[in-house]
Every structure is written in structure tokens, then in C-alpha cells.
Amino acid sequence: MRFENYTIKDIAKALNLSTSTISRALRDSYEISPETKKIVLEYAEKINYRANPIARSLKERRSHSLGIIVSEIANNFFSQVINGVESIAYDKNFHIIISQTHESSERERLNVEYLTSRGIDGLLIALSSETEDISYLYQLKERGFPIVFFDRIPQQFNTYKVVVNNQQGAYDATQHLIKLGKKKIAHLTNSKSLSITKDRLMGYKKALMANHIDFDPDLVKYCQYGGLHLEEIENAIEELIRIGFDAIFISGDKLTTGYLHVMKKRNFEACNDIAIAGFTNSNVVELFSSKVTAIRQPAFEMGKIATELLIKLIEAKYPITEFETRVLPTELVFND
């Protein structure tokens, strides 16, 4: 049996009033007497009437909904971003529709197509690790569709972007490992194409250079899917163990927890002697015997700011042509 919602026509028929009177009463219009409003509102509450959002969106040309696309909701960083998004959106009477790419560029494109076909007012997006062609996003932008990028951003796209200072966070993490007396520092990181990968690699290199340590490309291992598949981390670690390393800087939440799982499973003898610093917003790392220096990102704040900027785009009375990239600081947290 299909669910049928009550409509304004149903209320009008029941109360023997016109649909326009019912509509104005529900909108608390000054044109309708307090007595009529009371009758309409009491009946609407009695039948549990809810306005049809589709009809409303067609009339207002607004759906009051925002789309957000991330690689994986289970990722602690992205779940915290989403919490930040919701904290602003619901206060501004926007609903959130969340989609996951699982690092697939094809799924990302399909998600964008679906969300825009459902009439969302704007889009928040962190690009997938496979994404290289974003021409379809350019086309949406050219048609005036509001888009804000966060965390994983394209370089040449004229809109608001929100990131953390990835280069500084990576520099601080690597510098910390060097201060511990480590010289052979490995780097486990994401897909080569991602902006966060490039920025964090640069910070790692700069710290090595500042301490007169030669950069060894063999110590850098890329995981195309950012640790989404544990075997890619296992393969990277096997290669690093063959080369030998005394510390590791890890470039992502999933990669950091994945590295700890693999090393525990492998029961590598020298594991406890390897110093670890990694980007992670997860508290799970505290449960492992290996001590991890965490680079924390203000994920909740990132979600809030990105949403504020998107709503600013949506509600602007005139086209916005001047954009900025907001850069938020990271924090080094020591697990003693």
C-alpha cells in the first residue's frame, strides 16, 4: 500500500474553505483572520499534515537541501566534517543528503548527477582519489550551480575552498620524528593525484631538507585508494620492511589505522622501535601499543565553514566573482 500524504486540497475540502485560504493560513499570512488560522492549524495538526517539499521546491525554485560527497562516511575525519556541516545547515533550514564515492571517480560523477537531478541547492565535495576529469563540475559551475570544495580540492576552479595547512602539518610531523633521532623516515601516503598528497609530501621533503637528510623516493609509498583496501597497505609495508626504516610519517586517517592493524597482525619484531606520526582524527590509535603522534585536523570546523560559504553562494543576490581558499591550522598531539 502506497503512503499518501495529506494535501492542502484535502484540508480545504474538509473545512469547506478555498485552497488559497488554507495556504495563507499555514503561512501565517496577515490576510487571514486569527479565527480561521486557528481552525486550519488545529485541523492540520490533527491529521499530521506536512508540507510537500517537492511542491514547495517547484514553487520557490529551491529545495532547501545540500549535497555532500565524501569518500567514506566511516572515515573519522569525514564523519566529523559532516557533523560540522549539519550544525550549520539545520540551523539555516537546509537538509543534508550524503553520498559516498568509495574513491571511485565514476561513482562520484553518478552521485553528483543524482543529487543535482533531485534539485539540491548546492554541493560540498571532497574529490575521490581516482578523480582527474572534473569537466562535468565546470559545466555545473558555468550554469550557476553553487559548489564548494573541501579537503581534497582542484587547483584551477574558481570557487570557495576549505583546507587545512597540509604542508605545515606534514613538516611539523616529520620534524618531530627527526628530533627523536630518526634518519630513515618512510612516508605512507594517498593517491598521487590528490591535492593533500602533494601538499603533505612537500612538507615531508622540506623537513628532511631543513635537517640535511637526503630524500629517498623509495621510502615513499602511495596507496591509490587511501587504505580503503587493506592489501594495498600490506604491500606498501612489505616493501618498506625490505628497504628498512626507523620512522614513518603517514598521510591519512585510514592509512594510519591501517598501518597499525597490519603491523600488529604481522607481529614485526622492530615495530615498537619505529616512531610513527600520522594524520588521524581517530581515537582508535590510542588502543595500540605503538605510540602515535597524531596530526589532528579541525574537521568539524572545516564542515561548518564550508557550509557557511556554500549557503553564502546560494543566497547571494548578485553573482560572487571573488573567492578565497580558507586554510585552517593542524595540531600535533603526542601520545605518550
Neighbouring residues of 259: CB distance < 8 A, sequence distance ≥ 6? 188, 227, 233, 237, 248, 250, 276, 278
Cα separation, 308 vs 328, in Å, equals: 15
- Domains (ranges, CATH) in the chain? 8-51 (1.10.260.40), 63-164+299-327 (3.40.50.2300), 166-296 (3.40.50.2300)
User: Going residue by residue through the chain (336 aa), what tens digit of pLDDT does each one get?
Assistant: 344 567 778 888 888 888 888 778 877 777 788 888 888 888 888 777 766 554 554 455 567 899 999 999 988 899 999 999 999 999 998 999 999 999 999 999 999 999 998 889 999 999 999 999 999 999 999 999 999 999 999 988 999 999 999 999 999 999 999 999 999 999 999 999 999 999 999 999 999 999 999 999 999 999 998 888 889 999 999 999 999 999 999 999 889 888 988 888 776 556 668 999 999 888 766 655 568 899 999 999 999 999 999 999 999 888 888 999 999 999 998 865
Cα separation, 280 vs 79, in Å, equals: 12
User: Structure pTM?
Assistant: 0.82
- Dig out the grid coordinates for 256 from the structure: 594510519
Identify residue 162 by its one-letter amino acid code: V
Please identify which residue in the block is written with the cell numbers 474538509. 14
- Dig out the grid coordinates for 307 from the structure: 557550509
- Dig out the grid coordinates for 101 from the structure: 564515492
- C-alpha Rg value of the chain to the nearest Å: 25
Q: What angle do CA 172, 269, 191 make, to 5 degrees?
A: 45
